[in-house]
Amino acid sequence: MKARGMADKEAWVVWNGSMGIADTVTIGRIETDEGGRSAWLAPPYEVVGPFSLDELETQGRITFGACNVLSRQKWQELQVELRAEAMEKRRAAMLRQQYDDQEHREILHLPMEGDLTPSEINAAFRRLAKTAHPDAGGTDEDYRRISEARDALVEFFAGAS
């Protein structure tokens, strides 16, 4: 069932932090069912949806993927914080692209792609240290290599998050 109201005429702000773009939008399609009202943004942002129009109107903000849809008032309150957060995420992504961690991942037998957590990195290190440590029959060189790989990956992923 299609329902229209004041929300579809009001201008909202759509913020895509991953791209650093803010724009004004209106609500496009609205559907009402027993769970409330679901909405989609109007073109050219019609891919943003469905989201809870009721939540947007009461909270002043909804998050849909990388996009935030906010009332103008909520945007005024949060834009400095949202822009700073997005800039930090984009900076971290750029650092990840510049840093070639493939050799360190290989040394620790970690997946060649994707983010890593410090616990994943440390677990891989501990698993290899059982045989790489000189007291366990390994060599100083083997232990140094896995230690350096662990340290570099932990520092990178902890600093990039």
Whether 97 is in a domain gets the answer no
Evaluate whether residue 119 is within a structural domain: yes
Residue 94 forms part of a structural domain:
no
What pTM did the predictor assign? 0.54
Contact partners, residue 59, CB within 8 Å, separation at least 6: none
Average pLDDT of the chain is 87
Together in a domain, 111 and 45: no
In this predicted structure, the answer to whether residue 118 has a pLDDT above a threshold of 80 is: yes
Q: With CA atoms as reference, report the closest residue to 99 among 39, 35, 30, 155.
A: 155
State the residue range of the domain holding 80: 6-89
Mean of pLDDT values over 67-85: 93
State the total domains in the chain. 2
Q: Is residue 33 part of a domain?
A: yes
Report, as an integer, the average pLDDT of 70-74: 94
Render pLDDT for 81-112 as a digit per residue (tens, 0 to 9).
999 988 888 787 776 666 678 899 999 999 99
What local confidence, expressed as pLDDT, does residue 160 receive?
53
Q: Give the domain-ending residue among 39, 66, 89.
A: 89
